[in-house]
Amino acid sequence: MPVIPKINKITNIKSPSYKYKVLSNNVPIYIIHDDTLPIVKLEVIFSGGRVSEKKRSTSRITAGMMNESTQSTSAKKIDETIDFYGGRMGISSNMDTMTASLFCLKKHFKSLISLFGEIISQPKFDSKELQTYIKNQKQRLQLSLEENDIIAYREMTANVFGKKHVYGYNSTFEDYDAIESKDLQSYFQNNFVKENCFVVASGNIGDDEFKLIDSVLCDTLLSDANFQKPIYSPVNFIQPEEIFIEKKNSVQTAIRIGLKTFTKTHSDYPAFYFLNTVLGGYFGARLMQNIREQKGYTYNVFSSLNTMIYDGFFSIGCEVGNEHKNATIKEIFFEIDKLKAELVSEQEMELVQNFLMGEILKWTDGVYHSADMIKHLVIQEQPISYFETFVEDLQKVSAKDLQGMAQKYFKKGAFHTVIVGK
Amino acid sequence: MIKYEQFELENGLKVIVHEDKSTSFITFNLLYNVGSKNEHPSKTGYAHLMEHLMFSGSRTAPNYDKPIDNAGGESNAFTNVDVTNYYITLPKDNIEVAFWLESDRMNNLNVSQNSLDIQKKVVVEEFKETTINKPYGKVWHELSKLAYKEHSYQWPTIGKVPEHIEKATLEDIQNFYKKYYSPNNAFLVLSGNINIDKTKELTEKWFKSIPRSKLSRLQSPKEPIQKESRRKVIQCDAPLNALYIGFQMGGRDDKNFYTTDLISDILGNGKSSRLYRNLVKEKEIFININAYITGTIDNGLLIIEGKIQKEISIAEAEALIWEEINTIKSELISDRELQKIKNSIESTFIFSETSILNKAMNLAYFAALGKPELINDETELYQKITSSDIKKVANQIFARENSIILEIESKL
């Protein structure tokens, strides 16, 4: 038996490298170039997302409908063209942003980018297509409302941020019915403008590709000289409570336990991020070791920390056999209380530290990961150097800091609890 | 083009190295040539339960996960009907940790009664989460039973019923482990920032001393040729009716395998595919629809599946699928449509090269088939297919007597 290998510390973490330029129409572009593979990825990120909605669900439906017909090309022709060139193209929506993306082989970039320009500048919002789209979305919603974990997640965000808040509301059948083409048109005109976006281009971006991006985005992106950022209304305090939704036919019950936190810019963010990892952020985390690996109550239990531009939330989730429901909740609070009462051992601190460094090294491994990282930092209005600051901050987190975080945030009565099942 | 080199140890371990210097990580992928098809019909779900138990620790690594976490790595595994595949991705300077852990658990796994009892519970919860508690979760159990009367593909990898897993004994597991977890039943792939010399040195250091096993593989019975169409109707706690139509097809070494795969792409891959375009977008019959092949080593299935719009009957939906099938049987596909499918295959292949994990898994799988060269040759095999090949194979596959049909009626 050879000697057990020594483990090397990860020390070479660096911010992702990129080139910053400005297109001829003044839109910022981040270029992450690598010519290993003949692939090109282009993303145009528009701020706003749900935050700039005047009517619920318009951001999501606008994104969905921008993948349909444009004023000059039918959806059928668009889908066929994208597939013919083996590309991936579309608009997606998020809490804070809308992203238009194109991913294709370098040799087909020229053939697809003009269509990309058309999609982001001339959507049709055809009312017949909208009707079909809404009908489908409603049936998909009905499908997802049969899943306990989805119901639990929806209830959790509604309770943490408020049922009417942009980060808290859940799409309903009524929301879908209330949407008209003119809502989408107005959301589009207010948000899909050059004053409200930036570009990330990654992969094999040579001079030709850059010129194409510049010319197509200058020709197509609309402009609004009076563009103003949407005003975000902060969350009102909501008294946490325990909610039980009965589903008689369930063999498993979904559990969500969570609370409102903060954005990435908050001074507690690095320590809380570390704390989340210790509790439920990786396979070796305490919740997983206790509830799955020692008790066998569940296939998977985790905790996660979600941050948006203006706020954030932390939650623990799992699906367990109905008979283990109460025992699982007890164990979750046992682990929470332990973090408040006892210092994390030196050994565990070091292990989580090492695990996190591996994770973070992955965030910038390869052009596409680097591009994602840069995209997230720009969305969060952080300098790219935030990345290195974050790594340094994580390395400074002590066991005492973690206990402090747990005591500060994991107070008795601070958690919203949602239970869906039997 | 994915370049690779290969060698074999005296104990039968086959090794492939693909060097990619553009990353600072390495994926260590170890595939064991055993899947649920090698299980006894009254003891199903064992290959997958074994996969869980492989994380129980071994002689010199009482905890499997901690050294990987400490090394900044990540590991996981999956089991399917044909193979069990383990993978670790970690920073290149810590690659030896993977050699240590994987060689130790190939030879000296610790399985206690306690870890078996716990993992049995975890797997039963997994069974519930993925199968019993999901609206359409029973589908694969039903489809497999309908399609296979003799072959061991008649049960899904999770097992026939939770009771099989609950009854597994320590002895069962040890026998399974001894039989299949040996160097001569394994395929190792290193993909990422590592070269052949380093791989040879580390493989010999860690795996050379592990003895071969006498492989007495439990072979699945052969599936007799299906003679008439099979149909089953089941009720589900799901909000929409659904329809699954399967067609018997050959396995990986069948001469029509790639053509059949192309046919499934023409029908159901992407928004411009025929079924999606015509039955989701134009006629609004389905909410979604897909066509794909199961891609198994032994005889597989081409499956068409969709969830049906509320006001449409299952019979009407089925009739429209058959109409599309008749079109592909009677009319040659256009050059443009054929080119579209081939372009998409080319892109998908090149996109997959962005991930060292993908490359490692694919190489290991093709190595297990005995043809690692397929990693690059597959795209050429697709490029050679003509429109008349497609018409010919469509006529062989899409016969009524070759079909299995599963109707799912919403109880809600």
- Of the three residues B146, B174, B207, the one that is the final residue of a domain is B207
Residue from B118, B139, B142 nearest B130 by CA: B139
Question: Do residues B193 and B338 share a domain?
Answer: no
Q: What is the C-alpha separation between A82 and A88, in angstroms, rounded?
A: 7
A148·B272 Cβ contact <8 A: no
Give A-chain residues touching B382 at CB under 8 angstroms: none
Kindly give the residue spans of alpha helices, DSSP state H, lying in A125-268.
127-144, 148-161, 173-178, 181-191, 207-220
Q: What number is the average pLDDT over the span B237-259?
A: 96
Contact, B263 vs B338, CB < 8 A? no
Residue from B143, B139, B140 nearest B231 by CA: B143
Q: Report yes or no on B222 lying in a domain.
A: no
Q: Report yes or no on B32 lying in a domain.
A: yes
- Kindly give, in sequence order, each residue whose CB lies less than 8 Å from that of residue B273, ignoring residues fewer than 6 positions away: A83, B265, B266, B267, B291
Give me the percent of chain B exceeding a pLDDT of 90. Answer: 95
Q: Please report where in the chains the tokens 């997606």 appear, as a residue.
A: A92
- Kindly give, in sequence order, each residue whose CB lies less than 8 Å from that of residue B308, ignoring residues fewer than 6 positions away: B240, B241, B242, B243, B285, B286, B287, B314, B317
Contact, B87 vs B77, CB < 8 A? yes
pLDDT tens figures, A107-161: 999 999 999 999 999 999 999 999 999 999 999 999 999 999 999 999 999 999 9
Q: Report yes or no on B290 lying in a domain.
A: yes
Token pair for B121:
């519970």
Q: Which amino acid is at B247?
A: F
Q: Report yes or no on B215 lying in a domain.
A: no
Question: Do residues B90 and B172 share a domain?
Answer: yes
pLDDT tens figures, B132-188: 888 899 999 999 999 999 999 999 999 999 999 999 999 999 999 999 999 999 999
Mean pLDDT of chain B: 96
Token pair for B24:
């600072």
Chain A interface, mutation test: which of B128, B131, B237, most A Cβ atoms within 10 Å? B128
Contact, A325 vs A255, CB < 8 A? yes
pLDDT of residue A376: 95
To the nearest whole Å, the CA of B344 is away from the closest chain A CA by: 4
pLDDT of residue A235: 92
Q: Report yes or no on B116 lying in a domain.
A: yes
Q: Please report where in the chains the tokens 């998409």 appear, as a residue.
A: B344
Of A8, A296, A362, which is closest to B94 when you measure between CB atoms? A8
Question: Do residues B110 and B240 share a domain?
Answer: no
List B43's β-bridge partners, or say none. B40
Q: What is the C-alpha separation between B68 and A100, in angstroms, rounded?
A: 37
Q: What is the C-alpha separation between A155 and A313, in angstroms, rounded?
A: 13
- Taking phi over 0 as left and psi of -120 to 50 as alpha, with beta for the rest, A262 belongs to beta
CATH number (domain holding residue B152)? 3.30.830.10
Q: Give the number of other Cβ atoms within 10 Å of residue B76's Cβ.
A: 13
A139·B239 Cβ contact <8 A: yes
Question: Do residues B193 and B307 share a domain?
Answer: no
Question: Do residues B166 and B296 share a domain?
Answer: no
B22·A34 Cβ contact <8 A: yes
B129·A299 Cβ contact <8 A: yes
Chain B interface, mutation test: which of A4, A109, A128, most B Cβ atoms within 10 Å? A4
Q: What number is the average pLDDT over the span B76-98?
A: 98
Token pair for B212:
């071969």
CA distances from B174 to B103, B163, B225, B408 (A): 17, 19, 36, 40
- Kindly give, in sequence order, each residue whose CB lies less than 8 Å from that of residue B222, ignoring residues fewer than 6 positions away: B150, B151
Of A2, A76, A86, which is closest to B206 when you measure between CB atoms? A2
Reported confidence tier of residue B295, pLDDT bands at 50, 70, 90: very high
Residue from B36, B69, B75 nearest B55 by CA: B75
Mean pLDDT of chain A: 96
Question: Do residues B278 and B353 share a domain?
Answer: yes
Reported confidence tier of residue B217, pLDDT bands at 50, 70, 90: confident
Q: Report yes or no on B306 lying in a domain.
A: yes
pLDDT of residue B224: 96
Contact, A277 vs A356, CB < 8 A? yes
Residue from A103, A366, A267 nearest B193 by CA: A366
B353·A37 Cβ contact <8 A: yes
Token pair for B341:
């499918």
A76·B272 Cβ contact <8 A: yes
Q: What is the C-alpha separation between A216 and A196, in angstroms, rounded?
A: 17
pLDDT of residue B214: 87
Question: Do residues B177 and B238 share a domain?
Answer: no
Q: What number is the average pLDDT over the span A163-173?
A: 96
Token pair for B6:
């290969």
Contact, A141 vs A171, CB < 8 A? yes
Domain ranges, residue B291: 230-410
pLDDT of residue B374: 97
Q: What is the C-alpha separation between A84 and A23, in angstroms, rounded?
A: 29
Q: What number is the average pLDDT over the span A180-189?
A: 97
pLDDT at A42 over 90: yes
A7·B347 Cβ contact <8 A: no
Contact, A180 vs A57, CB < 8 A? no
Q: What is the C-alpha separation between B207 and B96, in angstroms, rounded?
A: 12
pLDDT at B216 over 90: no
What ipTM was assigned to the predicted interfaces of this complex? 0.94
Residue of A nearest to B209 (CA): A1
Q: Please report where in the chains the tokens 């699954």 appear, as a residue.
A: B244
Q: Report yes or no on B217 lying in a domain.
A: no
DSSP conformation class of A70: B
A82·B271 Cβ contact <8 A: yes
Domains and CATH numbers, chain A: 19-220 (3.30.830.10), 242-421 (3.30.830.10)
Q: How do strand A28-33 and strand A312-321 relate by DSSP bridges?
A: unpaired
Question: Do residues B307 and B170 share a domain?
Answer: no
- Of the three residues B192, B207, B222, the one that is the final residue of a domain is B207
pLDDT at A11 over 90: no
Contact, A376 vs A384, CB < 8 A? no
A143·B126 Cβ contact <8 A: no
Question: Do residues B236 and B171 share a domain?
Answer: no
Q: Report yes or no on B42 lying in a domain.
A: yes
Residue A112's φ and ψ, nearest 5 degrees, are: -100, -25
- Kindly give, in sequence order, each residue whose CB lies less than 8 Å from that of residue A137, ignoring residues fewer than 6 positions away: A61, A64, A176
pLDDT tens figures, A292-346: 999 999 999 999 999 999 999 999 999 999 999 999 999 999 999 999 999 999 9
Question: Do residues B248 and B175 share a domain?
Answer: no
DSSP conformation class of A285: S
- Enter the pTM of the model: 0.95
Q: What is the C-alpha separation between B214 and B39, in angstroms, rounded?
A: 17
Question: Do residues B203 and B241 share a domain?
Answer: no
Of B66, B91, B118, which is closest to A358 when you measure between CB atoms? B91
Residue of A nearest to B119 (CA): A296
Q: What is the C-alpha separation between B35 and B45, in angstroms, rounded?
A: 9
Specify the 3-state DSSP secondary structure of B73: coil
Residue A31's φ and ψ, nearest 5 degrees, are: -115, 125
pLDDT of residue B331: 97
Q: What number is the average pLDDT over the span B295-304?
A: 98
Total domains in the fold of chain B: 2
pLDDT of residue B237: 85
A351·B66 Cβ contact <8 A: yes
Contact, B324 vs B333, CB < 8 A? no
Chain B interface, mutation test: which of A299, A322, A351, A356, most B Cβ atoms within 10 Å? A299
Long-range contacts, A49-52 (Cβ 8 Å, 24+) = A49/A93, A49/A94, A49/A95, A49/A96, A49/A97, A49/A98, A50/A93, A50/A94, A50/A95, A50/A96, A50/A166, A50/A167, A51/A95, A51/A96, A51/A166, A51/A230, A51/A232, A51/A309, A51/A310, A52/A187, A52/A190, A52/A191, A52/A230
Residue of A nearest to B99 (CA): A5
Q: What is the C-alpha separation between A170 and A148, in angstroms, rounded?
A: 15
More confident residue, B411 or B265: B265
Question: Do residues B176 and B262 share a domain?
Answer: no
pLDDT at A46 over 90: yes
Specify the 3-state DSSP secondary structure of B332: coil
Q: What number is the average pLDDT over the span B27-41?
A: 97
